[in-house]
Structures are given as structure tokens and as C-alpha cells.
A and B are shown apart, each in its own frame.
Chain A
Amino acid sequence: MSDMTQLLDVTVVYGKKKNRVVPLKNVDFSLEKSEFVTVTGRSGSGKTTFVQVCGGLLTPTTGQVLFEKADLYKVNDTRLSEIRNRAIGFVFQSFNLIEYLTASENVALPLLFRKIPADERMEKAYEMLKSMNLDHRASHYPSELSGGECQRVAIARALITDPTLIIADEPTGNLDYETGKTVMDIFSKISAEKKAAILLVTHNPWVAKVGTRSIRIEKGRLV
């Protein structure tokens, strides 16, 4: 299997002098296509920084990040945004849905930045929500949805562009066990059916076991 994402000696440094923080130190990592990797570690260990670097959101201070063999941080903003839009899907702990958009509009949002006509993207969003059993909630605003539903909407939004990599930062963190389990079932299904690579950060040991591989970060290093 070929590597989809590679981190080569990646170091991230925040701040200067006394305020200097190094959340990632000389990290080498590779993620293969269709691989489901869970990332665990204590709070402040650098998990989120790690996935942000992988997802093209955070430029590392040193090192290289290869995404599909291209250096992710050597492309311009437009290209990087395009990669994020087309190839990477993000799911966050706090769902990060836009409050003034309905569920279907939130799901369709990534397509908006692709100049896809409104009808087409809304149709696709509806289909996506249907696959998440949320079609009856399509016209609801995030404030009218439960936590689990919000997370499923967020997953639908991440999937609508058919990404090759899904990055989920503690997707079950705000959910109870049952709901969390439902969400994780969805990720397992995605991994199996869509063949998308998944990089999932979690604190929960049971969630960590869902993936095909589990890595641990401690003090900015992979252990």
C-alpha cells in the first residue's frame, strides 16, 4: 500500500523565548490509503497539532508533510485550500457547524467553494444526510439538533466531497457512550466502504481500538 500522508521530521514550535512551546518534535509518520489510525495521548501532548499538520491547517516549523507525494506546505493558499476542500474532510469534537445554516446547508457548504450549483449541492447534501439517517432533520438548524445529530451532520459535511483523508479530532468527546458508539460505527463503515484514510484523535481507549492502527503521542513525540 502506498503512503497517502507522510510527516518527515516534523517539528512545530509556538511562541518565542520564555513562551516557547514545542507541541511536536521531530515526528515521522506515514498514513496509508484506507488506513484507520487512532491517535491517543494525554491532554496537551500534541495530538491536535499533529492532525492539524496532517490536514494542511498548520504549517510545521521544520520538516516536510507530503500529501499524495506532494509537499503540502509548499503550495499556495488557493491550492492548499483546494486540497482541503477536495481531499480532506474534518470532523471536530465541538462539531463546528455554522449556526445560521441548516443541516443540509452545512453539509453542502464545502461544495459551495467549488462553484457547484446550489440545486446540485443541496441534492447531494440531502443524499448525504439520508445516508446518516438525518434526512428528516435537513432543514433544522444546529441549535435544533442533538449532539449526536450534530456530529453526524459534521461527518456528512466531511464526506460530501468524497475525501481520501478524514481527520477527526475527538469526534466522540462531547457525546455519551451510546451516541459515540453510533458515530464510531459510521467511521468504521466509512473506512470499510469508502476506502478513505481516517486519522482519529481520541481519549477513549475503546474508541482507540476501533482503528486498524493506534499511535500514541507523548510530549510531542510519537511513541
Chain B
Amino acid sequence: MITFKDIVSLNRKKAKKRKLAGKKKSFAVLFTFLFSLIMLINASYGIGKIVREFIFDTGYPRQPMLIIRPDLDSELRQKSEYRYIDDEDIEKIEKMEGVSAIQKEIHFSSGHFFVLNRFSHIVPEFLLGYEDSFFNLYVEKNEKSELENGETDTIPILLSENMFFLKYVPEKKYFIRREKEEKAKFLGKDFNIIIDPFCRESFRWKRNSGYRNPVNPVLEIEAIKKRQAEIFKDFEYHSPGMLSYCHPLVLKFTIVGFIKDKAHFSNMPYGYGVIPSDKAKMISEIVKMRMAAKGGRRSYISNNRHGRSFLLVICPEKYQEKLESEIKKMGLKAHTGKTSNFKFFSEIKKAVKKEKSLIYIPAFILSAFSFFMMLSIYKILSLNVKDAVREIGIMRCIGATSRDISRVFRHLCFYDVFKVFFAALVLSDITLMFIGYKTSVLFNRMSYDLATGDIGVLITAVGDFSATWLIAPLWIQLLPVLILIPVTLLAAYLPSRKASKIDPVMAMKA
């Protein structure tokens, strides 16, 4: 029987003689072009990211939130008038007990808390990666509700750029949009703060921690639980979801000042807050663990431009009830998809659904395109076989078995078809990026930017471009491949089978 090496050699000679080399060159050019395009996009993303992080200084993990613990009678606390903290102050703060260790390592991100506004226009792209059941807990804090009843004056805010984006109105006991001159009112005030030292999804106990025990998972779980209990026993609050994800912690802190030099694109200074030292140490430990677990991922928090502040807690449905009760204990109003008919849920679901549905269009087009493209290839290959009928006849006459013929043509067909297959893959990915999902997200954000005149967000959007890549559902990315594979195989197999069935006498007559 003819060997594979012979087949390859035979087909190469055929290609060479038929001047297919030129076509190969075209393919090479096409591939180079497509890959260059992808590289360019990646490079653009990289540049966007650099611009974002180094000019606007907003990118995770470059978000230094310093947790300090000055004494109540310290000089810093005694400052009676508002001013920015100067270098000297920072130096003093950094010398305080326990601060430097935390300062070095701590990076906060509020992955579980997204401040959403104008969600009908913008759905942060990370939300698209969630199932509907995750949109189940909504904490509202800008309505009069309990706050006005004087039940509590502790308000959870985010340790992020949004932290001082809001203005605290003591008489109404809620935040509205920040005004610079109002900053002084923060000083010396105590707030509860929700932090998420682990970041969303990044800290997987089972996967990343040193407690991993692939031999005995039961021991692993026990070890994790024990350690969790040790860590969290002193926290005022922790969510029931901590077993698999680390949910937010609520700690009381006091704002002691502001620092100007780390401004991000909204010209928002970072704040310094105060928490008790034992908590600070604990956070430090947690952060160390998180860092050991290779840190987290950047989260996205949209700016609140309208003085409305919503906290959307995204957690698995099974934790919803407990978390809701915990949040209510904090004196906050909580809505869930099940317990409330609040429009928010239906609107955000609708918006997400709309965004998601956009994916189906390019996916469908791509799949159809891939299918018909492969049909065309099949046709072309069939014609190739037709062209080669005489050649098949000759080979049969000199002793080629039908199996040999099939193998020769199968190789030839597969070779051609797979060239097209990979081209189709690259094309489909680019199409997904530009026509489909990514474009919808990008344009959505751009339209928002144009409407609000904030070009900074646009740049951020470009910088964040690849984030959409990561969260495009896997099946969408795989769909063209899944369709292409069987069609490719058939497109290559059927003509070769056809070739092997050709009668030598009829072939010689061709």
C-alpha cells in the first residue's frame, strides 16, 4: 500500500506542477495579514491598558488603599480643618504600627459590588458572563427608608474610586454626588465599609490555597473550613458564601484625610480610612493569602454620575436569603429578584438579555457562513476530483487500489480543506470581535461616552477591550469550530470517497 510520505510527496508535486504554489503564497499572505491584525488588536489593547494604568492610574491592582490606625488623640486626628495630606503626613502614617505590612501588599477590589447607573444604556460587560440567577440581591442606599428613621448611620461604601465620589449629607444621612468642599465633612467620621479583600472569583480555596489535597478532598475541605473559621471569627460580618468565594467584609473605619497624588481619570483623590488594628492585621493576613493565591482579577466599577448609588451584590442564588438578612441587619434595604418586583431586576435582566442576544446574530451568521463555505469547498474539491478522473484511471491501471486512490485524495482534500478551516477560524474570531459581541459592547460604551462627553471613559473602554474577549461565552466561540469540524471532515472525506469509487475504464475514457 502507498505510504503517507509518498502521498504527501505526490500531492506536493501535483501542487507544484499545477502552479498552486502561487495560491499557497496567497494563503500565506492572507494568514500573515489576519494574524497581524490580531496582533495589532492585542497591541492596541496593551497600549490602551498602559495608557489607562499609567496616566489615569485606575487599573487593578494599582489601586493603593491604605488602611491605617492612628490613635484617637493623634495629631492627625486632631486636624480641625480639611486639607490634603502631605508627604509628611503620609510618612507619619506609614510609620504606624502594622501599616507598612498592609500598605505593601494590600490591593482592594470590589468585585462583588458594582455601582450601576444608567444600566439601560450600559451593562458592564462582566455582567454578561453571569447567569440570570446571579442577579439576585440589590442593596439600595440612596432612598430615604431606614436611614431616615435613624436606625443607623453606618453606610457601606466602596473602597474604590467611587469611595468619595459621593457626598455625605449628615442631615439626610446619605451620600449624594461629591463636591470638593464637602470633603471636610468626612474627616473624623466613622463609616462602615464593605471590602472584598479576595476579589471576585480569584480566591478559590480549593484550587489555589495551600490546603489543596487532591488525594483526600474531605480533608482538604475540613482544613479550609478550619482556617476560614480562624480568619473570620472576629469579623463583624462575613457572607455565607465564603466557603467557595470570599464575600465582602464590613468593617468600621474613620476617614482621616485625602491624598491627592494618586488621582485617576475622574480626578478623584483616594481616601485614607481608619480601622481597628486587629482587623487591619487580619486583613493583612487575608491579603497575604490572596497574594499567595496569585492575586485577583481586575473588576470594573462604573461611575455614578447621577448621585444614585446602587450596590448590586452578585452571589449564587443559594446564598441570597442569608446575605439578604445580613444586609438587613446592617440597616440597609435589600431587594432580591424573588422578594421584590423592583424594576431594577427586570430592567437589568432585559438589558443583559439584549446584550447577550447580540451574540447570537454573529454566531448564527458565522455558523451559516462556515457551513456554506465548507459546502463550497466540498464542491470545489469534487470538481478537483472530476478534473483528476483521468489521473485516477491511470493510477488504477498501474495498480493503485481504490484505497490508495482514496488516501491520495483524502490527503489532498484534507490539506486544502484545513487551510480553509483555519482561515475560517481566524475570520470567525475577527468577525466575532468586530461585527458581533465586542462591537456591541464597545459601541454601547462609546455612545455613553459621547453622550456624557467623557473621553476618558472611552479610552478606558478601549483599554478594556480584551475583557470582552474573555467573557464571551465559550460556546459562542466554539460554535463555528463545532460546526466546521464535521463539515470539514465530510468536505474532505466525500470527494476522496468519490474518487476511490471511480471505475478505471470510465476514468480512462474521460
Contact = CB atoms under 8 A, between A and B. Distances in A.
A43 B401 CA distance: 31
A77 B396 CA distance: 10
A141 B17 contact: yes
A77 B402 contact: yes
A113 B404 contact: yes
A118 B508 CA distance: 27
A28 B3 CA distance: 40
Contact of A100 (B5, B18, B504, B508): B18
Given A112-B2, A112-B10, A98 B399 contact: no
A182 B394 CA distance: 24
Kindly state the interface size class of chain B when it binds its partner: 20 to 34
B398 A78 contact: no
A96 B2 contact: no
Contacts of A110: 398-399
B400 A57 contact: no
B10 A58 contact: no
Contact of A113 (B2, B13, B18): B2
B505 A58 contact: yes
Given A113-B2, A115-B1, A118-B6, A81 B401 contact: yes
Interface residues of A, number: 30
A120 interface: no
Interface in B417-444: none
Contacts of B403: 77-78
B21 to A, nearest CB: 12
- Which of B3, B17, B18, B403 is most buried by chain A, counting CB atoms within 10 A of its CB? B17
Contacts, number: 75
Interface in A145-171: 157, 161
Contacts of A86: 399
Contact of A84 (B18, B398, B505): B398
Contacts of B391: 98
Given A58-B505, A141-B17, A113 B402 contact: no
Interface in A112-156: 112-115, 118, 141
Interface string A166-192: 000000000000000000000000000
A100 B404 contact: no
A35 interface: no
Interface in A68-102: 77-78, 81-82, 84-86, 90, 92, 96-101
A97 B398 CA distance: 11
A139 to B, nearest CB: 12
Contacts of A97: 394
B24 to A, nearest CB: 15
A109 B401 contact: no
Contacts of A84: 396-399
Contacts of A105: 13
Contacts of A98: 391, 394-395
B338 to A, nearest CB: 69
Interface of B: 1-3, 5-6, 9-10, 13-14, 16-18, 390-391, 393-404, 504-505, 508
* Closest A-B pairs by Cβ, 9 of them: A85-B399, A100-B17, A81-B401, A110-B398, A100-B14, A113-B399, A90-B397, A84-B399, A96-B394
Interface of A: 52, 55, 57-58, 77-78, 81-82, 84-86, 90, 92, 96-101, 105, 109-110, 112-115, 118, 141, 157, 161
